[in-house]
A and B are shown apart, each in its own frame.
Chain A
């Protein structure tokens, strides 16, 4: 009886937080605008907007809609439409991923990309984007986005790059650095097409089983860490990989969710306890909060609005 009552309360809370986090993103929509930071190596700050577009495309592909998402999409379309992506591309080959992701978002909104796609295709044909020694999960990122907008042929590179990631190299579970965990969570995003295909589509059964096992163990480890950004991404991976939520796994997932829910302050999701207090005092910046809030919004919305992921 107590368990079903708790499940009911959790479902209600997740539904409320899914709305509240989207409201926070709407309230701060102007801060996703691309800013110019002349002293940085790449003087345009496109990451927040690119990550917002990534979330919006993913939620739309999962069949989620609504007023807040429409409003955020309109903002993203307007902001991305104003920016000169050609200049960014010429400046840095790492722009490839952001541009492909942008084109994907615009397509999802039935709009042409905000740059000349022939220029992008030309740079790609020229091998310009290959002139980098990226981290393997960043190569997966590029292959995934190119498979979405250029040709499905690029999909075959995803499992190849995966073999060179920390997980692919059989990193010891106790030695995962924060960067290694981000590599794993992002790799899962691309392998599973954000939950729209099973990991077994691109991995063999053994590797997929090991993947689910390590996700569970790492999530348990991060229950004791003060980092809801990574924790949120790990919980998303549970959904995307279909990690079974029974027995001990159920306990781990539930505690993870509790931490995520507890980290919400005024609609933002605070990545650490320190920032939680600063957010409550109103002194945390947009840049300190936006990423974890995107992660939280993704997690809460999938759980509350997609039957296959439903909590409990």
Chain B
């Protein structure tokens, strides 16, 4: 089917671009490029159950295991505490590498146990997610009291803001990961804000955000039929050229103490989200519309 071809093509592009990204990081590992890799890994982990991206998933998992073994991840974590949440995610993914062994995580585990990693000041949700990923890697250190936050309030009350930026998309993705890992422990799930942000992204023609938010809503929050249809229509009208990635978000390149993300990681993230969204937002509709779009 054409839709399958389209999705396969998107996965191939993401795979090729991700390999370049991984090679680039391996050649010159920096905290900035780890944020790039982290942006892709966040989407990979949210789409782990979707068939078609296995090669990409395996490439990231294998690379993560190599970086754990070689000490690259702990070096970067010791240099900049802001990369810790991405390192925790990569450590989590590394467990699925073909040659992963429990010894690979031993140094990071000792650093966490010895309180040399994982204790710096971070927003509470980032603390929770980092601890959750590490716990699944066998790092059961007590990272201290993370307090209890009402996830729905933190996320949904953003709907009252007059503006949105990349931080908001990051918060939605962070929340989606927490729900995926610990959904059974979370009583109140956000619903309104991710959908509102999706509507805003469609209305402002933000082709980088729409696939990310559409997939995140479908996967972790909720997506009612009219919005699902509108998102899908938008996605099919804004497909990248074959072999190309979606453009970066407007105003990308945010550089602060807490976020250092370059455009490349965000472009792969969104193109991957596009493939995931096309796989999940109503099969028959996808098939029909995709045929029209690329016919």
Q: Which residues on A are within 8 Å of B, measured CB to CB? A: 41, 90-93, 123, 126-128, 130-137, 139, 160-161, 163-166, 168-172, 174-175, 177, 179-180, 183
| Known interface pairs A91-B163, A131-B154; 4 further A-B residue pairs with C-beta atoms within 8 A, sorted by A's residue number | A132-B158, A133-B126, A172-B119, A175-B120
Task: Tell me the complex Cα distance, A69–B147, Å.
Answer: 40
Known interface pairs A133-B171, A172-B114, A177-B81. Does A166 touch B160 (Cβ–Cβ under 8 Å)? no
**Contact (Cβ within 8 A) B147 A171:** no
**Contact (Cβ within 8 A) A136 B119:** no
**Contact (Cβ within 8 A) B160 A126:** yes
Residues 23-47 of B contacting A (Cβ, < 8 Å): none
**Contact (Cβ within 8 A) B120 A170:** no
**Contact (Cβ within 8 A) B145 A168:** yes
Distance in angstroms from A47 CB to nearest chain B CB is 15
Known interface pairs A163-B147, A164-B145. Does A135 touch B114 (Cβ–Cβ under 8 Å)? no
Task: Tell me the complex Cα distance, A132–B123, Å.
Answer: 9
Instruction: Summarize B's interface: helix, strand, loop or mixed.
Output: loop
**Contact (Cβ within 8 A) B116 A164:** no
Tell me the nearest residue of chain B to A128, going by C-beta.
B160
**Contact (Cβ within 8 A) A166 B119:** yes
CB-CB under 8 A from A136, the residues of chain B are 121, 123-124, 147
**Contact (Cβ within 8 A) B145 A135:** no
Q: Could you pull out 18 A-B pairs where Cβ atoms are within 8 angstroms?
A: A92-B163, A93-B157, A93-B161, A128-B157, A130-B153, A131-B154, A133-B124, A133-B154, A136-B123, A137-B121, A164-B144, A164-B147, A170-B119, A171-B115, A172-B114, A172-B115, A175-B115, A175-B116
Whether, in the assembled complex, B234 has its beta carbon less than 8 Å from a beta carbon of chain A, the answer is no
Tell me the nearest residue of chain B to A92, going by C-beta.
B161
Whether, in the assembled complex, B165 has its beta carbon less than 8 Å from a beta carbon of chain A, the answer is yes
Among B123, B127, B153, B165, point to the contact of A131 (Cβ < 8 A).
B153
CB-CB under 8 A from B161, the residues of chain A are 91-93, 131
**Contact (Cβ within 8 A) A131 B115:** no
Task: Tell me the complex Cα distance, A170–B125, Å.
Answer: 18
Task: Tell me the complex Cα distance, A160–B160, Å.
Answer: 26
Task: Tell me the complex Cα distance, A183–B123, Å.
Answer: 12
Among A161, A163, A169, A172, point to the contact of B116 (Cβ < 8 A).
A172
**Contact (Cβ within 8 A) B115 A170:** yes
Instruction: Summarize A's interface: helix, strand, loop or mixed.
Output: loop
Task: Tell me the complex Cα distance, A91–B118, Å.
Answer: 33
Tell me the nearest residue of chain B to A157, going by C-beta.
B147
CB-CB under 8 A from A128, the residues of chain B are 157, 160
Known interface pairs A133-B126, A164-B146, A168-B144. Does A175 touch B154 (Cβ–Cβ under 8 Å)? no
5 cross-chain pairs, A with B, having the tightest CB-CB distances, nearest first: A131-B157, A169-B144, A163-B145, A171-B119, A133-B123
Tell me the nearest residue of chain A to B146, going by C-beta.
A164
Distance in angstroms from A109 CB to nearest chain B CB is 30
Residues of B in contact with A, size category = 35 or more
Task: Tell me the complex Cα distance, A171–B116, Å.
Answer: 8
**Contact (Cβ within 8 A) A127 B145:** no
Tell me the nearest residue of chain B to A164, going by C-beta.
B147
CB-CB under 8 A from A161, the residues of chain B are 147
Residues 150-205 of B contacting A (Cβ, < 8 Å): 150, 153-163, 165, 171, 174
Task: Tell me the complex Cα distance, A270–B158, Å.
Answer: 39
CB-CB under 8 A from B120, the residues of chain A are 166, 171, 175, 177, 179-180
Whether, in the assembled complex, B225 has its beta carbon less than 8 Å from a beta carbon of chain A, the answer is no
**Contact (Cβ within 8 A) A135 B123:** yes
Tell me the nearest residue of chain B to A165, going by C-beta.
B121
CB-CB under 8 A from A133, the residues of chain B are 123-126, 149, 154, 171, 174
**Contact (Cβ within 8 A) B121 A135:** yes
CB-CB under 8 A from B121, the residues of chain A are 135-137, 165-166, 177, 179-180, 183
Task: Tell me the complex Cα distance, A132–B121, Å.
Answer: 16
Known interface pairs A92-B161, A130-B157, A132-B154. Does A160 touch B119 (Cβ–Cβ under 8 Å)? no
Task: Tell me the complex Cα distance, A169–B126, Å.
Answer: 14
**Contact (Cβ within 8 A) A41 B153:** no
Tell me the nearest residue of chain B to A93, going by C-beta.
B161
Distance in angstroms from B108 CB to nearest chain A CB is 14
Tell me the nearest residue of chain B to A161, going by C-beta.
B147
**Contact (Cβ within 8 A) B162 A91:** yes
Residues 206-230 of B contacting A (Cβ, < 8 Å): none
CB-CB under 8 A from A171, the residues of chain B are 115, 119-120
Task: Tell me the complex Cα distance, A171–B127, Å.
Answer: 13
CB-CB under 8 A from B127, the residues of chain A are 164, 169
CB-CB under 8 A from B155, the residues of chain A are 131
CB-CB under 8 A from B160, the residues of chain A are 93, 123, 126, 128, 131
Tell me the nearest residue of chain B to A172, going by C-beta.
B115
Distance in angstroms from B205 CB to nearest chain A CB is 21
Tell me the nearest residue of chain B to A129, going by C-beta.
B157
CB-CB under 8 A from B143, the residues of chain A are 169
Interface centre among A90, A161, A163, A171 (most CB of B within 10 A): A171
Distance in angstroms from A275 CB to nearest chain B CB is 20
CB-CB under 8 A from B119, the residues of chain A are 166, 169-172, 175
CB-CB under 8 A from B117, the residues of chain A are 175
Task: Tell me the complex Cα distance, A180–B115, Å.
Answer: 14
CB-CB under 8 A from B118, the residues of chain A are 169
Whether, in the assembled complex, B122 has its beta carbon less than 8 Å from a beta carbon of chain A, the answer is yes
Task: Tell me the complex Cα distance, A137–B147, Å.
Answer: 13
CB-CB under 8 A from B115, the residues of chain A are 170-172, 175
Residues 104-143 of B contacting A (Cβ, < 8 Å): 114-127, 143
CB-CB under 8 A from B126, the residues of chain A are 133
